[in-house]
Amino acid sequence: MLMHTTIANDVLLDVQNLETHFYGDESITRALGGISFQVKRGETLGVVGESGCGKSVTALSILRLLPKLTAKTVGGEIRFHGRDLLKLSEREMRGIRGNRIAMIFQEPMTSLNPVYTVGHQIAEAVQIHTKATKSEAMAKAQELLRLVRISDPERRVNNYPHEMSGGMRQRAMIAMALACSPELLIADEPTTALDVTIQAQILRLVVELKERTGTAVMFITHDLGVVAETCQRVIVMYAGRIVEQASVVDLFARPSHPYTQGLMRSVPDRRRGRQRRLPEIPGIVPSLREPIVGCSFAPRCPFAIDICREKTPILRDVVPGHGAACWRAEEVMGA
């Protein structure tokens, strides 16, 4: 506890008990069931999980970009530099978006506005948050394109998105996100939609830019390999909750939640040689429309015992700095 307070000023973003619901015609989906985590200054935090586990919802909840009519953050706090983002006015929130917290999205093909040039769109981000004139902002846009390694930026600033490849568009998205030197960059599966070779280039670019600018990165992905390459700490999400939280080294060395272990087994590994078939986690992800009794992973868990089906496990430290939400974490860790 004492240690916790001494590192408190290192904490950039402190999320506590975040709960977000989606409202359908006849049902409520509890997309986030009360999650807590922190992002420290300058670190890269990986957020891993299958699609639908709440990774992107977490990101959109932080920036308050969820669709207003169908989604609502119903509980918790999102403290950024100690101020709760959920209590800010829309106007104050706009001053944070793109300025102090920026975001890169999954689909570079559709995330840029097709009717404006790339330079114009990057310059817009500059102009919203600074007093730069149009021509200053355009010069800055050109500089940013050079920063993200787009060749011939003098010409590219005047390109429309459809005149660029997917990888180049994602670079432009990154340039836009970095326009105001944010303290936190949320990257929501930035490489998923790209070719494998381009993926590697973009990953390297993010890591390199992070080191140069010192910005903290929240890296959302479903790919454990990407986490291993880019992150310092990881949180693993399952069915709207955090099931494990650890440093990357620790997580790979001693995975303490059965779900994390399942995830690791289903990653192809060259060292293990040719396998007949990758092991998969049996069963399906539970529906978040009904309240879940007990541990949400219990129906698929090889370790499940009676208590798992009755009481929801909370995230607790198994060893210092390594948390898991599992009643049998110690046994799982040893298994």
Partner 1 sequence: MAAYILRRMVSAIAVMAMVGMFVFLLLRLAPGDPAAIIAGKSATAEMIAGIREKLGLNDPMPIQFIRWVRDMLGGDFGTSIFAGRPVLELIGQRLEPTLSLSMLTMIVSVTVGVSFGIVAAWRAGGLVDRMLSAFAALGFSVPVFVIGFFAIYWFAINLHWLPVQGYQPIGQGIGPWFDHLILPTLALSLGYIAFIARITRASMLEVLSEDYMRTAAAKGASSYAMLFHHALKNAGVPILTVVGLCFAYLISGVVITETVFNVPGIGRLTVDAINNRDYPIIQGVLILASGMYVLVNLAVDLGYTLIDPRIRY
Q: Find the binder of partner 1 among 114, 268, 291, 334 (CB under 8 A).
A: 114
Question: How far, in Å, CA of 300 to CA of 323, rounded?
Answer: 20
- Residue the block writes with tokens 């992905």: 221
Q: Does 22 bind partner 1 (CB under 8 A)?
A: no
| Crossing angle for the helix pair 166-178 and 118-129, to the nearest 10 degrees | 10
Smallest distance, Å, CB 262 to partner 1? 31
Question: How far, in Å, CA of 8 to CA of 12, rounded?
Answer: 9
Give the nearer residue to partner 1 in terms of CB position, either 63 or 248: 63
Q: Find the binder of partner 1 among 37, 105, 259, 327 (CB under 8 A).
A: 105
Residues 216, 185: contact at Cβ < 8 Å? yes
DSSP 293: P
Residues near 258 by beta carbon (within 8 Å), at least 6 away in sequence: 297, 301, 302, 303, 326, 332
Q: Does 113 bind partner 1 (CB under 8 A)?
A: yes
Q: Find the binder of partner 1 among 124, 143, 223, 229 (CB under 8 A).
A: 124
Residue 62 tokens, joined? 């932080």
Q: Find the binder of partner 1 among 99, 130, 213, 312 (CB under 8 A).
A: 99
Q: Find the binder of partner 1 among 41, 146, 160, 319 (CB under 8 A).
A: 160
Q: Find the binder of partner 1 among 98, 119, 255, 323 (CB under 8 A).
A: 98
Count of chain residues binding partner 1 (CB under 8 A): 28
Q: Quick check: helix, strand or coil at residue 238?
A: strand
Applying CB under 8 A, the residues found at the interface with partner 1 are: 63, 65, 69, 94-99, 102-103, 105, 107, 110-116, 124-125, 128-129, 160, 162, 173, 176
